[in-house]
Structure 1
Amino acid sequence: MQPAVQEKFNSYPEHIRIILMEVRALMLAIIHDNHLGDVEETLKWEEPSYFVKGGSTVRLDWKPKYPEQYFVFFNCKTKLVDTFKELYSDTLEFRGNRAIVLHVNDPFPQSALRHCLELSLKYKAIRHLPLLGV
């Protein structure tokens, strides 16, 4: 992990850092399990950001303005979040066409989040398919 990214994770309250590190670990596992290649982990807009060749960037963050929520951001110029809404509107909460909103005190939605992250990390290969091939 780059020092700037580590610094950002260290700046979060401990309970948030633990949750966001869980999201990060899930993303890295998806990349590994699907042989998606090298991951670029950096800060974009001061948020931990993840990109693999052939995918769409995923960012994570928590904001003091919304202390009980954390966010997984996607490129708003893609059809990713619209597809996620079709698949998981009963399970996940969304902000516009750019983010999944998760709540600190809710159970971690591992299965749904894993699927959304996987679609984003494979986006360029599936973007032409209806519902991203789901």
Structure 2
Amino acid sequence: MTRAAADTMADGDPPFAEPAVATAFAEFPDDVRGELLALRRLIFATAARTGGVGPLGETLKWGQPAYLTSLTKSGSTIRIDRRKDGSGGIALYCHCATDLIATYRELYGDRLAFEGKRAILLPAGKPLPVAELGHCIALALTYHTRKRTR
């Protein structure tokens, strides 16, 4: 793991399984790295407490840290990254062919900001809305399981 990523990891954070993911986190600007690591921590914690998700895989997709339910196939891939619009914020991306963002809008349209059918936008320097994000993450990590039971 690179020094920059290690400096902002908290005790008990899951280690990076792939060196490329550690490098990606190390290359994030200092002002968003901590927020992205906090979002990563929330993704792993949510996966651990959500039934049927199983172990979470972590890799890079399109150069972004991505989280997958490879073993159980219960969910849709989640990606995280800094926002490219210069706002200094971060984003949680979902597969645009799912109805996840539409569902999130119905549930949290008054509390979260969105980009099209693909992302939850999180402003810089504000605490993560942990309850809302945790629920959104759980819905993504169980997306295919719920779809199969409809």
TM-score for both structures, normalised by structure 1: 0.90
Gap regions ≥5 residues in structure 1: none
Q: Which residue of 1 aligns with 2:10?
A: none
Gap regions ≥5 residues in structure 2: 1-15
Q: Which residue of 1 aligns with 2:50?
A: 34
Query: Are positions 1:50 and 2:57 aligned together?
Result: no
User: How far has the Cα of 1:129 moved from its partner?
Assistant: 7.1
2:141 to 121, 124, 129: 121
Equivalent residue pairs, number? 130
Query: Are positions 1:7 and 2:23 aligned together?
Result: yes
Contact 2:87 2:123 in 1 (8 A): no
Matched to 1:104, the amino acid is: A
Counterparts of 1:66 and 1:119, CA distance in 2 = 29
- Structure 1: 4+ residue segments shifted above 6 A: none
Indicate the SS of the match to 2:68.
Answer: strand
User: How far has the Cα of 1:33 moved from its partner?
Assistant: 1.3
Counterparts of 1:85 and 1:64, CA distance in 2 = 22
User: How far has the Cα of 1:128 moved from its partner?
Assistant: 6.0
Q: Which residue of 2 aligns with 1:82?
A: 102
Counterparts of 2:108 and 2:142, CA distance in 1 = 18
User: How far has the Cα of 1:125 moved from its partner?
Assistant: 1.4
Query: Are positions 1:100 and 2:94 aligned together?
Result: no
Report percent identity of matched pairs.
36
Higher normalized contact order (CA 8 Å, seq sep 6+, divided by chain length): 1
User: Alignment RMSD, CA only?
Assistant: 1.6
**Shift in alpha-carbon separation, 1:114–1:66, aligned structure 2, 3 A:** same
Query: Are positions 1:17 and 2:39 aligned together?
Result: no
**Shift in alpha-carbon separation, 1:65–1:94, aligned structure 2, 3 A:** closer
Bigger shift: residues 27-36 or 90-99: 27-36
User: How far has the Cα of 1:15 moved from its partner?
Assistant: 2.8
